Amino acid sequence: MKRWATLLAGLGVAADDVVMSNTPTVSQERAIARLRADHRSLLGALESNSAWTERYEVASGPLGDFCETLHDLAAHVLMWNEINIAVFDEALLGRSHWSLDPRWETPEAGNVLNHAGVAAGRHLPGELLTHRLGAAHDALMAILDSEAWHGHVLESTTVAGLAHRVMTVPGQPAFFHAAVHLKQVESLIAATS
């Protein structure tokens, strides 16, 4: 753990911001603030660029490049938000979502999901994509802002612990996704601390 802390400090990231397990490291209030800021960063990028389907440079995620445009990035973030909503829905019913199965938690499976989600999103007009993005964001905010945050689900994991696990890009601070690809994590950490 000390080696990770040193590496992350060199990147300007506090070690306690990076999720290595189902143990919550960010408070409920900070999780909500980060998710809200992350969503706003994506909406801001979309609103400031009228040409969503033109080439746009986004940072690679841990699984590589698959987003060529802002439209692609919105589809990618939307796909993972919708998967995460389903993860919480299943967990609150006492079931484990398919995406938590070890067969799906591999770089290869994640890569296939990323490419498929972006490809599917390319068929949606921007207006419908942003409508779905907003609806999914509202659903996630409702989950994070509920009293269920401290409740136990799935083999004594709390909703908070599950949220930290599924809503964190590997190697990045918790509750940022679009900001990772938009290279805005550092500024959003400062804004939400």
Query: What is the SS3 assignment for 87-106?
Result: HHHHHHCCCCCHHHCCCCCC
The whole-number pLDDT of residue 3 equals 32
Q: Would you place residue 151 in the very low, low, confident or very high pLDDT band (cuts 50, 70, 90)? A: confident
The whole-number pLDDT of residue 185 equals 94
Give the mean pLDDT of the chain.
Answer: 84
Q: Which of 16-20, 97-101, 112-116 has the lowest mean pLDDT?
A: 16-20
Domains of the chain: residue spans and CATH: 2-192 (1.20.120.450)
Which helix or strand (DSSP H or E) is residue 164 part of? helix 159-166
pTM greater than 0.85 (yes/no): no
The whole-number pLDDT of residue 19 equals 41
Higher pLDDT, 11 or 173: 173
Q: DSSP letters of 73-90? A: HHHHHHHHHHHHHHHHHH
Question: Cα–Cα–Cα angle for 135, 84, 117, nearest 5°?
Answer: 80
Pairwise CA distance, residues 74 & 78, whole Å: 6
Please report, rounded to a whole number, the percentage of residues in the chain having pLDDT higher than 70. Answer: 84
Higher pLDDT, 11 or 167: 167
Q: Would you place residue 2 in the very low, low, confident or very high pLDDT band (cuts 50, 70, 90)? A: very low
